[in-house]
């Protein structure tokens, strides 16, 4: 059964699949299209996942993997570029 921690990985997956940048809506569409069965079996998370994915973005910001809100356009999540 999926939990909030899975949303962190699924959000990373969605951002990577969209070139490192995605609107919140498109990221949620990606998560739903790839993990709807997991979400349906997740109990209460099924009803809260679209709220909880914002918590996942917050966690990724704290880990330095997603840009701060002020550094991205409104409604967009962006991965922090990795040095090459």
If the chain, 84 residues long, is cut into consecutive pieces of 10 residues, what is the mean pLDDT of each piece?
96 98 98 98 97 98 97 97 82
- Identify the CA nearest to 12 among candidates 56, 42, 55: 56
Query: For 21, phi and psi rounded to 5 degrees?
Result: -150, 135
Element housing 25 (H / E): helix 24-40
Structure-block tokens of residue 27 = 């990221």
Structure confidence at residue 11 (pLDDT): 98
| Helices vs. strands in the chain: H and E counts, helices first | 3, 2
Structure confidence at residue 12 (pLDDT): 98
Q: Please count the other Cβ atoms lying within 10 Å of the Cβ belonging to residue 11.
A: 27
Structure confidence at residue 44 (pLDDT): 97
């Amino acid at each position: 059964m999926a939990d909030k921690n899975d949303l962190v990985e699924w959000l990373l997956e969605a951002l990577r699949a969209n070139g490192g940048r995605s609107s919140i809506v498109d990221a949620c569409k990606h998560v739903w299209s790839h993990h709807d069965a997991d979400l349906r079996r997740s109990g209460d998370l099924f009803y809260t996942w679209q709220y909880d994915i914002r918590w996942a973005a917050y966690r990724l910001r704290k880990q330095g993997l997603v840009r701060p809100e002020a550094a991205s356009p409104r409604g967009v999540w962006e991965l922090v570029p990795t040095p090459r």
